[in-house]
Structure 1
Amino acid sequence: MKSNLFTHIVFAASVATLSQAATPQRVAAQTYQIDCAILLCLSGGWPASVPCARARAEFIRRITPWPVEPPLQIWRCPMGVAYQPGSDTNSAARIFDILDNGLDTLPQSYPEFPTESNARPVPAVLRTTDATAGQLPNGLVLRLIQNRADIDISGPEFNFVRSIRVFDVRYAHQHESGPDDDCNRSATVVLGTYGTQGDFSWARSALSALPEAHVGLERWGQNCPSIYHRSVFVDWRDYEGNYGFEQVDY
């Protein structure tokens, strides 16, 4: 597990950078930085700071209907695009390098196979036309990552990403009806989870899968009291295994 000293150093560095006031010229970079901030703050158990408060607010906003979005969109945090050739594989260090970018420009990438003619960095976000595509340096590898991390996050240090679960209780309805006061129950629950590389997907679930921390359905199945419930519940475990959750009713 990560030591407390390392945690404090890491967050001191990232929070100092994230605390810089945003200017109109920095808006484009901020769209990347919020997910880097969510990644860092979530892993550290949401430490008390203005940047982490903002990151958590965005994390919760994304599960506030409608629509329900992945609360962490790790593919928006370019962990693999700012590096020096031959750098080590420390993923955390890459994140902090990006956060220390100054927020003035998007991170820069080096070609995977640098040569004398293409050794200069190029923008991480590159838009081309048919005319300009042919002018790209030979050997330049463009990786368009749209739904997963742009580095390998399969190791245990990123288990906190895969621990995130999003339960969307689209409705849970219980009521008596008919001449015999039969109890009618119906519910639709879907569960959003993260894959090995941070890819997000939805699957059918059930009320029985809801964590104990979820509230609002305690009387479900008990003598058929009238219930109509809708909510989104997200839970996770931080880097050190501490449990956390948020619920939004609607």
Structure 2
Amino acid sequence: MTPKKLTRRLVMSCLLAAGLVTGSGKETLAGPGGAPIDCAILLCLAGGWPSSPECSAARAEFIRRITPWPVEPPLQIWRCPLGASAPSPAKPGFRSRIFEAAMRSSSAASIVSPLRSPSPEQIAAQIVQANQADIDISGQEFNFVRSIRVYHVEFTVRKERDYCGEHDATRVGTYGPQGEFSWSGYSAKSVPTYVMPRVHGCPDGRGRVRAVGVEWKDYEGNIGSELVRY
């Protein structure tokens, strides 16, 4: 099986696990709480956003979340019910672990409702309140989750009489060992140049940059990014 076919199979498994594919074959990706689509975001991101309807919808939601306002974590892994697995001496690879978790969740979901999507209450019951993954993702095979960076730039520079006045409220969003997301202060002058060009000198008048940039690496280490200006 080719990597693209394997990735699509894994995506569909997680869609099944989240109750996104019903007995009629119709698919719905984004509910009011955003819970189902995060399984697709996780796997499509890992696979380098392969070409498929599921991954196109997942990527659109990934970018929508960083579009102000508010700026949200683009991947909310705690909303993907992967299911806990018992530790073993030899850790299986990423694809094996994610597929096993998806299959376990899919079997449980089919018992509850094999022909219809789960109710909002059932989905809510699957969401981990601790805002982190419900399986151990501390291994290097999940480094692609921790590679995500969200740069929220709010920078203003204005020439005064004898000095250059700056206001910088930039922050960066990062992911922790178990996929927990947090914001911290950052310097606009340190963000990648695709988000904001380097500032040289002081403009005649006033300059302002308001933008959100997101970057990531897929499972193979390939780099990607998107920018939203506002």
TM range (shorter): 0.7 to 0.9
Cα separation, partners in 2 of 1:78 and 1:221, compared to 1, 3 Å: same
In the TM superposition, what are the counterparts of 1:80-159 in structure 2 within 5 Å? 80=83, 90-97=96-103, 98=105, 104-106=116-118, 126=125, 144-159=128-143
Report what 1:213 is aligned to. Answer: 194
User: Counterparts of 1:200 and 1:174 in 2: how far apart (Å)?
Assistant: 30
Distance 2:55 2:34 in 1: 15
> How far has the Cα of 1:11 moved from its partner?
1.7
Instruction: Name the residue aligned to 2:167.
Output: 186
Between the aligned partners of 1:75 and 1:55, the Cα distance in structure 2 is 16
C-alpha separation between the residues in 2 aligned to 1:151 and 1:91?
A: 9
Letter in 1 for 2:51: A
Q: CA deviation at 1:21?
A: 2.0
RMSD: 3.4
Structure 1 residues 246, 103: closer, same or farther in 2, change over 3 A?
A: farther
Residue 242 of structure 1 pairs with residue 222 of structure 2: yes
1:246 and 1:47 map into 2 onto residues whose CA distance is: 16
Pair 94,104 (structure 1): closer, same or farther in 2 beyond 3 Å = farther
1:222 aligned to 2:201?
Answer: yes
**8 Å Cα contact 1:174-1:183 kept in structure 2:** yes
Distance in 1 between the 2:138 and 2:180 partners? 11
Aligned-partner SS, 2:184 = strand
User: Are residues 8 and 152 of structure 1, via their aligned partners in 2, closer, same or farther at CA, if it must alter by over 3 Å?
Assistant: same
Q: How does 1:155-174 map to 2 (within 5 A)?
A: 155-169=139-153, 171-174=154-157
Q: What percentage of aligned pairs have identical amino acids?
A: 42
CA radius of gyration, larger in:
1
SS in 2 for 1:167: strand
Q: Structure 1, unaligned stretches of length 5 or more?
A: 108-122, 127-141
What does residue 9 of structure 1 align with? 6
Q: Is the 8 A contact 2:11 2:39 kept in 1?
A: no
- TM-score scaled by structure 2? 0.75
Matches within 5 A, 1:31-70: 31-70=34-73
In the TM superposition, residue 207 of structure 1 has moved relative to its aligned partner by: 1.6
**Amino acid paired to 1:10:** T
Rounded to whole Å, the distance in 1 between the matches of 2:136 and 2:149 is 21
1:175 is aligned to 2:154: no
Partner Cα separation in structure 2 for residue 186 and residue 163 of structure 1: 28
Taking the aligned partners of 1:41 and 1:72, their CA distance within structure 2 comes to 11
CA separation of 1:75/1:13 partners in 2, compared to 1, >3 Å: closer, same or farther?
closer
Structure 1 residues 54, 95: closer, same or farther in 2, change over 3 A?
Answer: farther
Corresponding residue for 2:213?
233
